[in-house]
Amino acid sequence: MTTTRFAPSPTGRLHVGNIRTALHNWMLAKKAGGRFLLRIDDTDAERSKEEYVEAIRADLAWLGLDPDGEERQSQRLALYEDAFEKLKAEGRVYPAYETVQELDLKRKIQLGRGLPPIYDRAALALTDAERAAKEAEGITPHWRFKLDQDEPITWEDGVRGPQKFDPAQLSDPVIRRADGSWLYMLPSAVDDIDMGVTDVLRGEDHVSNTAVQIQMFTALHAAPPAFAHEALLVGREGKLSKRLGSLGCDAFREQGIEPQALVAMLARLGTSLPVEAIADRQVLVDSFDLSTFGRAPARFDDDELARVNTALLHAMPFEEVAGRLPEGMDEAAWEAIRPNIETLADVGEWWTIVTGPIDAPALEAEDKAYCAQAAEELARTGDDWKALTSALKESTGRKGKPLFLPLRQALTGMDHGPDMASLLPLIGAAEAKARLERAAA
């Protein structure tokens, strides 16, 4: 069974890049009839916060990305310890004693000589006596995974195609700090094996991590999952933007963005498929295909998101929003008002125009007389806009803007807005007559 995972660290709120990764993993699993798992990577006890764990769950729920299971790395430490001991017994991990300052100096020297800043494996050359001496001095080692440098690391990437890395050009990664805490690499590989993850879809900034982790899977006697690395998001200006790192579900909610709009946009962002206002998630899932993903950075545009949001609202049925509308607003009112809104928050303003009170407009004398005549005519036609305007056209000779605009101004206090044929019945004949009479006074 196809099994994907989304593995955020609870050190902050999800941002738009995280959301896109979660969505694509959810879609990949759903299209294959598989499982989408949430893994909370909370091995960094100092930075991980329970409030962020709750926020991640809430954000996924708001987006409708319900996981089929959840794991927390903080509850799986025994698994990592067991894997570590096995790798140590097989000579695939080794202790290293350099300080952060010493490693930084080594990198600067290598860069100064025009060499890549790769760890020189000096710790491997230490004798047992030298290691014992360092530990006797109170120097606790950190631990590195020993890369096999005999063969290139290759895989067929679901987005980037054939990939090839020379392990001799990679540093042996640190997998465990001197205080015993874990870095990302080994626990992630152990979890993917234990959780049965078959497909890892993540950002292209993880490509070199994948090369290292493929060797970890091999060292742990497990087949690696299928890997795919999608292009990262950039801002509308075409550059990497810090702002994208702060755009999360809370920010989108504050802007009035519907979760369906965010899903519709991010589902196809960075692919050859058009971004469209598609409310039916099954349509998005059915069209999901890694072969459509491009290598160029995916451009996130606020204006495009707003366009998608507006289009979805204009097509949204009453039953989907009924619980979020002002009290007393029925289906007829929603259908009359929704073509004029950009976010659902706009509904309140238009509904106030229906329920009143409104400020009477300052009209010219001839328009005041016209509104007085309209009030008399409305007593006969009722709230039938077409009948009212047809009668006024015949009796006054007005047409076009002079016929319609003073009526709209008197009835709504606005120069524009919802179709008056739909709005007038909502206002009601009695209230409309009173507004016309106030405008005429």
Checking phi first, is residue 256 left (phi over 0); if not, alpha (psi -120 to 50) or beta? left
Of 17, 22, 20, 24, which is closest to residue 6 (Cα–Cα)?
22
Q: For residue 143, list its beta bridge partners.
A: 95, 176
Of 292, 242, 245, which is closest to residue 271 (Cα–Cα)?
292
Contact status, residue 229 vs residue 204, Cβ threshold 8 Å: yes
The total number of residues written for the chain in this structure:
441
303 burial (CB, 10 Å; 0-12 / 13-18 / 19+) is exposed
The response to whether 242 counts as a known ligand-binding position is: yes
388 burial (CB, 10 Å; 0-12 / 13-18 / 19+) is buried
Return d(Cα 280, Cα 259) in angstroms, integer.
12
Q: How far is CA 177 from CA 43, 142, 210, 228, in A?
A: 12, 5, 20, 29
Q: What angle do CA 439, 440, 441 make, to 5 degrees?
A: 95
Instruction: For 36-56, give the DSSP string.
Output: EEEEE----TTT--HHHHHHH
Show the tokens assigned to 234.
């950039």
Of 42, 38, 41, 9, which is closest to residue 25 (Cα–Cα)?
38
DSSP state of 126: -
Annotated binding site: 242
Annotated binding site for ATP: 242
